[in-house]
Structure 1
Amino acid sequence: MATSVGSVHTSSDIVKDYDCDGCKSKTIQASADSFCETCLKCFCEKCLYYHDQVFANHLTYGRGEANKWPISKTIEDLLLKCDVHSNKKLKMFCEDHSQLCCSDCVLLNH
């Protein structure tokens, strides 16, 4: 029997390199030091300073709280893509087969 799967919100203990979204918009390469949960954007130290001047009430996390940073959307999309039906996302879990599956897989195999 297939059941619905919630969204993926996980991270690992490995520190990942995130690009600063503020610098990226200006075609500047800089590593992010913080993540704003409200904006859903990553910022280097300089951009975070300006961000905090305008958005003082936003919730931000530094590198010490990287476990609260999101998994990269690209990686999340890749992990949730069905191997059989490449245009579908994995949304169900079949307990009988212990397998993640998309809606097409559920109809055809589970």
Structure 2
Amino acid sequence: MAGSISDVIYYYCCNVCEEDNVNKEALFYCQQCSKGFCDKCIEKHNGLFQKHKSFGGKELDKWPAAKTALDLLQRCQQHPDHRIELFCEDHMKLCCVLCHLHDHK
């Protein structure tokens, strides 16, 4: 069975649509609001906040690091369901709680 459209993971999600439990890709980002917007929500935003400068996909260097990318960096490679929370000074390695219990006592 193919995944539904709600199963799609975007690097940047529209924060307004997310609040309504809708999964839609953000095509614009407003630094003043610190939010991403889809093509429909950016129109509403620009109408309300005319002095805000929003950035499109060609200006990704002005967008924050993608939430999914940050989440991946914070996950343990050995135990993906656990976040990296500890540092083992003996091994000079970041680790999750399970790694710490099993390999870094």
Query: Per the shorter chain, which TM-score range?
Result: 0.5 to 0.7
How many residue pairs get aligned? The number is 92
Task: Give the superposition deviation at 1:60.
Answer: 0.7
Identity %: 37
Task: Give the superposition deviation at 1:67.
Answer: 1.4
> Over residues 47-76 of structure 1, what are the superposed CA-to-partner deviations in whole Å (9 max), with x where a residue is unaligned?
000000000111210001111100135755
* Distance in structure 2 (CA, Å) of the matches to 1:45 and 1:74: 21
Over aligned residues, Cα RMSD in angstroms?
3.9
TM-score (norm 1): 0.54
Moved over 3 A (4+): 72-80
Q: Aligned ranges for residues 78-97 of structure 1 at < 5 Å?
A: none
Structure 2 runs not aligned, ≥5 long: 1-9, 75-105
Q: Which of the pair has the greater relative contact order for Cα pairs under 8 Å at 6+ separation?
A: 1
C-alpha change, 1:56 and 1:26, in structure 2 (3 Å) is same
Match of 2:15 among 21, 27, 45: 21
State whether structure 2 residue 37 is matched by structure 1 residue 43.
Answer: yes
TM-score (norm 2): 0.56
Structure 1 runs not aligned, ≥5 long: 1-15, 81-110
Aligned residue in 1 for 2:24: 30
Task: Give the superposition deviation at 1:27.
Answer: 0.5
